[in-house]
């Protein structure tokens, strides 16, 4: 059943559940963070409309900095601004930032411990028609390996807004990952959000499987859980927006109660969120795990829905994988 403490949308399974892209949450969240703290500045690498950075520019033109198509310079200028007391949010597509400027992020932001917030938009295959070059699928892995880097992959626009506001306050480097496509806004203003905390979306006293998801595909995991319940299979859905630091307590509890785990992410299945969960559980509570993600491939052009189905990251495939895993457990 839905977790009432999550205070999810009252249209949670309705066809007309409100939709917005997580990048829209960056737009509103950055304005909110800018109002709360005048040290917040936003840097844009010639993509202010599609990153939604222009919302910040409209409110605070003097704190918006146009960098041109120069992601390496954007990261390093931001490091300098952070050293001078600013809280810079750098915005581009994740394929270019952190894709293009990884060393600059590593040396001048992470090792330097500068409170720069790296905002990677257009992450995942749901970018759609732009194709593989623009569909970043390796960013969680790259960024979670950096010492001291917090990694957040919000589930919807509302949570993205909260994540941006929270990131502005950490005093440390943070990577935030956003998507291009409009996706269901399943949380509400009342839904709790805290960096490092997972959120139970669907719960059960006797779950057969725990589905752990990050990013907008958490909604697909929730839809899958409802379908499983309708077929008599109980499950848990744990939405994990903060990939680093992981909410070990919540993940441990989910793994112990269900005995097996499925992870879901719009990212390579190697090295990302599923990898982080597998690393953690293999040390503290090994259980059978299936990691759903893109399987060592690049993306391609298509509509977001076509691509999510093709790479088996939609609700139907999550449900099917859950049934397979439960069958495997019963047989072994």
Judged by beta carbon, residue 40 or residue 260, the one nearer another protein is 40
127 with 157: CB under 8 angstroms? no
Among 15, 16, 61, 62, binds another protein (CB under 8 A): 62
Q: Contact between 4 and another protein (CB under 8 A)?
A: no
Judged by beta carbon, residue 28 or residue 76, the one nearer another protein is 76
> What is the distance between the alpha carbons of residues 13 and 118, in angstroms, rounded to a whole number?
33
- Residue 318, SS3 per DSSP: helix
Q: Contact between 91 and another protein (CB under 8 A)?
A: no
Which span sits near another protein by CB under 8 A: 52-60, 69-77, 151-159, 218-226? 69-77
DSSP character string of 126-181: GG-TT-GGG-B-SHHHHHHTSTT-EEE--SSHHHHHHHHHHHTTSSS-EEEE--SS
- Which positions from 165 to 204 touch another protein by CB under 8 A, shown as an x/- string? ----------------------------------------
Q: Contact between 33 and another protein (CB under 8 A)?
A: no
Phi, psi of 172 (to 5 degrees): -135, 170
Say which of 32, 57, 71, 158 is annotated catalytic.
71
Q: Contact between 68 and another protein (CB under 8 A)?
A: yes
| Alpha-carbon 2 to chain mean position | 21
- Enclosing H/E stretch for 212: strand 209-213
Which span sits near another protein by CB under 8 A: 77-85, 215-223, 226-234, 291-299? 77-85
Shortest Cβ distance from residue 74 to another protein (Å)? 8
> What is the distance between the alpha carbons of residues 187 and 165, in angstroms, rounded to a whole number?
16
53 with 64: CB under 8 angstroms? yes
For this structure, is 266 an active site residue?
no
Judged by beta carbon, residue 62 or residue 231, the one nearer another protein is 62
Q: Contact between 313 and another protein (CB under 8 A)?
A: no
Looking up tokens 């669907």, which residue turns up? 202
Shortest Cβ distance from residue 121 to another protein (Å)? 20
30 with 55: CB under 8 angstroms? yes
Among 30, 72, 191, 218, binds another protein (CB under 8 A): 72
Shortest Cβ distance from residue 236 to another protein (Å)? 41
Tokens matching residue 17: 């559940």
Q: Which of 131, 141, 125 is nearest to 314 (CA)?
A: 125
* Interface positions with another protein (CB under 8 A): 41, 62-63, 65, 67-68, 70, 72-73, 75-86, 88, 103-104, 107-108, 111-113
Question: Which residues form the catalytic set?
Answer: 71
């Amino acid at each position: 059943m839905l977790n009432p403490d999550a205070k999810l949308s009252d249209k949670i399974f309705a066809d007309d559940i409100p939709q917005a892209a997580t990048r829209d949450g960056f737009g509103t969240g950055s304005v909110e963070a800018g109002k709360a703290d005048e040290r917040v500045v936003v840097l844009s690498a010639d993509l202010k409309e599609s990153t939604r950075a222009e919302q910040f520019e409209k409110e605070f033109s003097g704190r918006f900095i146009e960098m041109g198509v120069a992601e390496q310079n954007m990261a390093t200028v931001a490091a300098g601004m952070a050293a001078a007391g600013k809280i810079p949010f750098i915005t581009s597509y994740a394929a270019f930032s952190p894709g293009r400027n990884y060393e600059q992020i590593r040396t001048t932001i992470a090792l330097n411990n500068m409170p720069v917030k790296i905002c990677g938009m257009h992450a995942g295959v749901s970018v759609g028609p732009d194709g593989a070059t623009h569909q970043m699928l390796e960013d969680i892995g790259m960024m979670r390996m950096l010492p001291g880097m917090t990694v957040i992959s919000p589930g919807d626009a509302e949570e993205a807004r909260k994540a941006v506001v929270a990131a502005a306050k950490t005093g440390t480097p943070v990577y935030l990952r956003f998507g291009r496509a409009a996706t269901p806004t399943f949380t509400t203003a009342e839904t709790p959000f805290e960096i490092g905390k997972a959120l139970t979306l669907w719960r059960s006293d006797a779950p057969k499987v725990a589905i752990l998801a990050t990013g907008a595909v958490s909604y697909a995991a929730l839809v899958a859980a409802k379908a499983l319940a309708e077929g008599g299979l109980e499950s848990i859905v744990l939405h994990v927006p903060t990939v680093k630091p992981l909410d070990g307590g919540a993940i441990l509890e989910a793994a112990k109660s269900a005995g097996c785990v499925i992870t879901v992410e719009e990212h390579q299945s190697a090295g990302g969120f599923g990898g982080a969960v597998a690393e953690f559980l293999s040390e503290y509570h090994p259980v059978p795990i299936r990691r759903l993600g893109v399987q060592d491939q690049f993306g391609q052009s298509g509509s977001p829905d076509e691509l999510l189905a093709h790479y088996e990251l939609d609700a139907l495939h999550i449900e099917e994988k859950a049934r397979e895993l439960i069958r495997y457990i019963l047989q072994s």
